[in-house]
Amino acid sequence: LAVFKATFWRLISGTLGIICLSLMATLGILLKNSFTKLSTESAFTPGPNIELQKDFHCLKLLIERTA
């Protein structure tokens, strides 16, 4: 009976270990793909974002008015 319990727990721990490794590998692949997409999207933008330009212009006007 003791041998059966030990074998049973080894089977459970081995199965959980395999699941854990597969989840970590999946997470690594997903993170790698998401960072790759972010870097390629930002690399191909033609210039500064229009929203950033508007914000910069408003900030510049605010500084000129207070000076």
User: Is the pLDDT higher at 43 or at 51?
Assistant: 51
Report whether pLDDT(35) > 70.
yes
CA-only gyration radius of the chain, Å: 27
> How many C-beta atoms lie closer than 10 Å to residue 20's C-beta?
10
pLDDT score of 20: 96
This prediction has a pTM of 0.50
